[in-house]
């Protein structure tokens, strides 16, 4: 505000007007708006990345526990089948030959299918949804 207009004001208003400061032009307002928008977008992005990181760490921990339990059960089952197969081979267990073949084949099929289920559902392929979400911000 020019000095002559400032002096024309009453003293109690003159101090308040002087405390407001210089005039702001449209370019400064536009710069302030861009800066504010960039800060807001940065905050959203940081929040999103932090939430994504925490979610994936929790999922990774849970998947690891479940995978170890499943693999332990499969190892026990393999040990049990091998023991039964060995006992049948040395004639400690007396089982029909056809039944023993079906038993071993069924257990082998179950083990392979469980491994495939573990690989498919516990370790899915990472999609591009998160990258698309970041782009949308």
To 5 degrees, how large is the angle CA 19–CA 25–CA 41?
95
- Biggest alpha carbon distance in the chain? 117
**Residue 85 contacts by C-beta under 8 Å, 6 or more apart in sequence?**
100, 104
pLDDT recorded at residue 126: 61
pLDDT recorded at residue 104: 80
Q: Are 137 and 41 in contact (CB under 8 A)?
A: yes
Q: How many helices (H) and strands (E) does the chain have?
A: 5, 0
Query: Residue 111's closest CA among 76, 63, 68, 61?
Result: 76
Q: pTM, whole model, 2 decimals?
A: 0.52
Residues of the chain scoring pLDDT < 50: none
């Amino acid at each position: 505000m020019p000095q002559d207009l400032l002096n024309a004001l009453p003293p109690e208003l003159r101090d308040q007007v002087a405390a407001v400061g210089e005039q702001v032009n449209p370019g400064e307002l536009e710069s302030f708006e861009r800066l504010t928008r960039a800060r807001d977008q940065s905050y959203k992005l940081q929040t999103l990345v932090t939430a994504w990181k925490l979610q994936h760490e929790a999922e990774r921990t849970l998947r690891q526990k479940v995978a170890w339990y499943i693999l332990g059960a499969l190892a026990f089952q393999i040990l049990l089948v091998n023991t039964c197969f060995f006992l049948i081979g040395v004639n400690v267990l007396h089982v029909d030959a056809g039944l023993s073949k079906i038993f071993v084949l069924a257990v082998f099929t179950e083990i392979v299918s469980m491994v495939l289920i573990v690989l498919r559902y516990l370790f899915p392929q990472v999609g591009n949804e998160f990258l698309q979400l970041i782009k949308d911000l």
